[in-house]
Structure 1
Amino acid sequence: MDTVFASIITIGDELLIGQVVDTNSAWMAQELNKIGIPVKHRVAVGDVWDDIWYALGEESKHASIILITGGLGPTSDDITKPLLCDYFGGKLIVHEPTLEHIKDIFINRLKRPMTETNSKQAEVPDVCTVLRNDRGTAPGMLFEKNGKVFISLPGVPHEMKWIMENEVLPLLPVKFKTTNIEHRTLLTAGIGESFLADMIKDIEASLPPFIKLAYLPNYGMVRLRLTATGMDKEALLPTLAHHFNLLKERVKEYLVIDEDLPMEAAIGQLLLQHGKTIATAESCTGGYIAYLVTSIPGASAYFKGSIVSYDNSIKTNLLGVPENILQTAGAVSEETVTLMAEHIRATMQVDYAVAVSGIMGPGGGTAEKPVGMVWICVAAMGKTVAKRFDFKFDRDRNTQLTAINALNMLRIAICG
């Protein structure tokens, strides 16, 4: 049986000029994947009639489901609704349930009068199925043509998500016989993508045709994702599990977690499992490590606090680094970062402390201490480990690489 594909068309000039980042299509693709509908294309077009019309025709050649977001507002630049009306040969009519819903929003919820412009949101093509929008005024619309389904949704993310979750995702498996798509993902750190590929090339070569391996590198880490596709889910799972276990065993030296989770979530799980606590002392990262750790819900169970010692006086006054050490070894040194880690561990009474100091750039480097040079230290009871890194990128990437490598050193310390 042929695979049912979807295409996503996002509409708006703001997307093309970079004023708004398109998060809608990424979320939609993830949710479609969960119900066995892979996305063939993701296309962004501006608020141009001919461009939208062309995109609808082109994507219907490649996909059975075409999802459209944006352009459903009440103002003159929102042209999606009248265009769809022409494209599918309909005429605009007032959808009474939607009109009552809009009245309720303005009169009962917002306590303000509804304008004529607002009421136009209730106008829909008479050839569509209306999809209720409980989070806003613009309804979703479903059209069918030549065996293809076209679904138009608002561009406002929380409105789009509500319609997708409550109206669209339950409907699509009823209209189309979808395949099963199963993913297994692991996260590695401390090894580059090319070295990883060499390490597992025989496992990759042995994969059956219905299982694909993807390398997903990012800032000092590489995710490996196995994807199995087929109609019989129960037949897929044992083979997928077998090859995933082979991967885990092969890369165990660099394995962070065998789930599709970021490093900071893996660290959180480890700390909870071991009943341990941490604190950070950050110079060059400006609190970024603490931000990553506390971005995980429940981090208060293991994260106690941080000192951002950007200025040397803070290193001396709050982190116990003597001025003579700063003058002789320097702020970016093994001696300084070790004292930072050990002092904050004792002060905050935690099991582990992470400290970093470095030169992020673009200026500030010297021949002896170039831009990208970073010292990272992890202090624990009875054992302190410090390591020098030399990153050679821009400020943002150097900062992120510092944070990820610091967390990975913490992971290694916890795991022993």
Structure 2
Amino acid sequence: MKETTAAILTIGDELLIGQVIDTNSAWIAQELNKSGIWVARRTAVGDVWDEIWQALDETLTHADIVLITGGLGPTADDITKPLLAKYFGGTMITDEKALANVNNIFKNILKRPMLEANLKQAEVPDTCTVIQNANGTAPGMWFEKEGKVVVSMPGVPYEMQGMMTNYVLPKLKEHFTLQHIAHRTSLVAGIGESFLAERIKNFENNLPAHVRLAYLPHYGLVRLRLTAKGEDATAIEKQLDNLQAQLKPLIQDVLVAAQDVSMETVLGTLLNDQKKTVATAESCTGGYISHLLTANPNSSSFFTGSVVCYDKKVKETVLKVDKQVLEEKGTVCKEVAEQLVKGVIELVNSDYAIAVTGLMGPDNGGEDKPVGTVWIGVGNKEKVEAQEFHFRYDRRRNIEMTAITAMNKMRLFILNNQ
């Protein structure tokens, strides 16, 4: 069976200058992958006619499907529709269903008069199949040429996602005979990528030719992703299950989860399963650990609260850190981390607590406390542990590394003190 490939083409100057982050490509790629369509390339271009045309030419030589987002708005810089009309040899016409949708949105939802530019959003090339937009005014367009498919959709994420889910993905599955693509991901922590690769090199060298192993490092974590493609879905799934089972004993001591989840999800699930709660006392991370934990939709069942004790006075007056310790040893030390754990547990009556205090940069505390020096404390009402870490990055990455490391240390504390 021939592999079906896709290219994603995003349009807009705002993407090239970093004013808008391209989340559309990531979402589309994930959904295509689930459907058995391999993404061969991703391209971003500005609002320039010749560049869009050239990018479309190039992507069609590498892929069976090209999915385009952006450039469908009512302003002069939105040139995708007229370009596609010319590219596919069509002329612009008004689609009556799209026009009715635009009229309904302005009359009954927005309750304001339309401009001529708004009416023109109902115009489409007569060479396309129109994809109605249930979440906005700009319709999508489906083109076919020499066995290949080009789909143009709005750049607004929820409008694009609605079209993909309700129309594009189902139609692509009807149009193409697709392979089965499957993944197995293992999340590990506490080991560098190179050391991990050395540990499992024999496993990797003996993988079947159609199975790939990818290393995806991110802030103290590494995701090991096994990927396989083939015609027999049942056989592919079974094979990946067996391979992940073979991999597990090689990484058992550093394995966080045998699935593609975040550290905050792992910790939240563990706390929920044990019906326990956690709190945080955050100095150098400024509440970032709390932010990650409360991103879990069920966080109210395991997260009790946080104190952002950035200033020394807050450590002393709110969380009862010993004033003499603060004066003699400073805020970045083992004793402060331990006392922050005890203080926040007492304050909010949680089962567990995480505490962090450190230097994120760019200023440092001298030779004995350079930028990236962090003390992380975790514990419960009976026991507290604290450990010093030395991160070597910029301020943002040091905060990220501290948060992930602290949550993993809390996870290990819970598992070792049940």
Please indicate the TM-score interval, normalised by the length of the shorter structure: over 0.9
The equivalent of 2:256 in structure 1 is 256
Equivalence map 1:123-202=2 (5 Å): 123-202=123-202
Deviation at 1:251, TM superposition (A): 0.7
CA contact (8 A) 1:284 1:357 kept: yes
The equivalent of 1:244 in structure 2 is 244
The equivalent of 2:111 in structure 1 is 111
CA distance in 2, matches of 1:350, 1:285: 20
Equivalence map 1:2-401=2 (5 Å): 2-401=2-401
Amino acid at match of 1:88: F
CA distance in 1, matches of 2:10, 2:238: 38
CA distance in 2, matches of 1:328, 1:198: 44
Unaligned runs of 5+ in 1: none
Deviation at 1:235, TM superposition (A): 1.3
CA distance in 1, matches of 2:274, 2:252: 20
Deviation at 1:329, TM superposition (A): 1.7
CA distance in 2, matches of 1:251, 1:383: 28
CA distance in 1, matches of 2:165, 2:159: 10
TM-score, L = length of structure 2? 0.98
CA distance in 2, matches of 1:105, 1:347: 51
CA contact (8 A) 1:132 1:167 kept: no
The DSSP-based 3-state class of the residue aligned with 1:160 is: helix
The DSSP-based 3-state class of the residue aligned with 1:251 is: helix
CA contact (8 A) 1:185 1:258 kept: yes
CA distance in 2, matches of 1:309, 1:235: 54
CA distance in 2, matches of 1:74, 1:359: 49
CA distance in 1, matches of 2:9, 2:265: 32
CA distance in 2, matches of 1:75, 1:410: 52
CA distance in 2, matches of 1:210, 1:271: 38
Q: Larger deviation: 339-348 or 295-304?
A: 339-348
Deviating beyond 3 angstroms after TM superposition, the runs of 4 or more aligned structure 1 residues are none
CA distance in 2, matches of 1:407, 1:226: 25
Deviations 1:252-301 (Å, cap 9, x if unpaired)? 11111111100000001100111111001111111111111111111010
Amino acid at match of 1:354: I
CA distance in 1, matches of 2:138, 2:181: 32
CA distance in 1, matches of 2:129, 2:99: 15
TM-score, L = length of structure 1? 0.99
Amino acid at match of 1:215: Y
CA distance in 1, matches of 2:238, 2:159: 39
CA contact (8 A) 1:188 1:223 kept: yes
The DSSP-based 3-state class of the residue aligned with 2:188 is: strand
Deviation at 1:381, TM superposition (A): 3.5
Deviation at 1:158, TM superposition (A): 1.0
Residue identity (%) = 54
Q: CA RMSD in A?
A: 0.9
CA distance in 1, matches of 2:101, 2:336: 63
CA distance in 2, matches of 1:309, 1:79: 51
CA distance in 2, matches of 1:60, 1:48: 18
Deviation at 1:43, TM superposition (A): 0.3
Deviation at 1:188, TM superposition (A): 0.6
CA contact (8 A) 1:200 1:250 kept: yes
CA contact (8 A) 2:342 2:381 kept: no
CA distance in 1, matches of 2:75, 2:348: 56
Deviation at 1:351, TM superposition (A): 1.3
Deviation at 1:364, TM superposition (A): 3.2
Amino acid at match of 2:276: K
Count, aligned residues: 416
Amino acid at match of 2:381: M
Deviation at 1:115, TM superposition (A): 2.0
Amino acid at match of 1:167: Y
The DSSP-based 3-state class of the residue aligned with 1:216 is: strand
Amino acid at match of 2:79: I
Deviations 1:349-392 (Å, cap 9, x if unpaired)? 11111111001110132112111111001012322111000111
CA distance in 1, matches of 2:369, 2:18: 37
CA contact (8 A) 1:264 1:293 kept: yes
The DSSP-based 3-state class of the residue aligned with 1:253 is: helix
